[in-house]
Amino acid sequence: MKATTSTTGSFSKLYCTVFGHQYNVTKKVTKHVKEYTCKCCKKQLTTNSNGCLTELTPTFREINSLLERVHSKRMMRLNQKIAS
């Protein structure tokens, strides 16, 4: 048995319009850059270079994955330095 969820989307949007989005951090890209998803309507936001929240567009997703790679590489090098 599958529950129908076709009405949930529009209801969530209405909820968000009235009460505001319920953002959860879904990904930590760097110390300062995070990705957020609204648990109601699944709208995604990210922190841009100015430190402001902006909609997570494909361009920002690309920038974030690049940032993440650079950041994790740097952290790895830092950890190695501490270990040795």
Binding site for Zn ion (CB under 5 A): 16, 21, 38, 40-41, 43
31, 23, 35: which is closest to 60 by C-alpha? Answer: 35
Minimum Å gap between C-beta 21 and Zn ion is 4
Closer of 33 and 38 to Zn ion (Cβ): 38
Tell me the closest approach of the beta carbon of residue 31 to Zn ion, in angstroms.
26
Report, in Å, the least distance between residue 30 CB and Zn ion: 24
Tell me 5's DSSP state: -
φ, ψ of residue 17 in degrees (nearest 5): -60, -40
Using only C-alpha atoms, what is the Rg of the chain? 17
